[in-house]
Amino acid sequence: MNDKNKKRISKFLSLILRHNPGKIGLELDENGWADINELITKANKRNVRFSKESLEDIVETNDKKRFAFNDDKTKIRANQGHSITTIDLKLESLEPPAYLYHGTVGKFMSAIKTNGLQKMSRQHVHLTNELETAVKVGSRRGQAIILNIRAKDMHDKGYTFYQSENGVWLTDAVPAEFIAFKN
Ligand code: HQG
């Protein structure tokens, strides 16, 4: 499968496995897993064609490791980024590093200064320990602004952090007092 096709299928999988399985009449279980054969058949009916081998290729080579198989490779799910509120990935809570980054843009800054970081339409606020990743995430929307979050401090005050299988740090909300604003 060429890169363009892989990207197209990967975007389709993000839509189906994170946001709208009903679009192809698929159901995810309570932990977000989809049956692979059912996914392939139902996608095929809507003219999105891929094989089990191409799914394996996508899971392995996806730039952000967005998807994972279960142990016997009968099921697939998205590692993070869901908007479906009933899905529980059963992530284990983990102590974060002292600081984590969040990449955003200027137009959100006054709201963030007032309300802190909110999960908006996803299940969690997404944070990273890599500056470069935060820059990329922010740059999707314009000139990136990088916020420094006092994650360990939050954790010590009782806030829970999780790490998804692809290394993204997740938490429910970041109150403004834990964000270092430069101005
Ligand atoms: C902003 C992609 C106003 C927040 C990326 C962000 C990432 C607020 C936007 C992953 C706010 C939400 C997640 C507040 C936060 N008021 N705006 N109080 N609090 N915001 O897409 O972190 O390619 O839901 O700064 O690469 O941008 O999909 O979150 O700009 O890893 O795998 O509201 O999604 O990964 O946007 O991105 P998002 P995000 P994938």
**Ligand 1: distance of its center to the CA of 114 in Å?**
17
Give ligand 1 pocket residues (Cβ under 6 A): 64, 66, 81, 104, 108, 111-112, 115, 117-118, 120-122, 126, 137, 141, 168
- Ligand 1 atom closest to residue 126's alpha carbon, by position in its atom list: 22
Q: Do residues 161 and 95 make contact, with C-beta atoms less than 8 angstroms apart?
A: yes
pLDDT of 1 reads 84
pLDDT of 29 reads 97
Residue carrying structure tokens 């009968």: 74
- Gap between the Cα atoms of 88 and 86, Å rounded: 6
pLDDT of 183 reads 57
For each of the chain's 183 residues, which pLDDT tens digit applies? 888 999 999 999 999 999 999 999 999 999 999 999 999 999 999 999 999 999 999 999 998 899 999 999 999 999 999 999 999 999 989 999 999 999 999 999 999 999 999 999 999 999 999 999 999 999 999 999 999 999 999 999 999 999 998 999 999 999 999 999 875
Q: Which DSSP state fits 128?
A: B
- pTM for the whole structure: 0.89
Amino acid at 38: E
- Gap between the Cα atoms of 28 and 87, Å rounded: 8
For 107-154, the pLDDT digits (tens) are 999 999 999 999 999 999 999 999 999 999 999 999 999 999 999 999
Q: Do residues 82 and 18 make contact, with C-beta atoms less than 8 angstroms apart?
A: yes
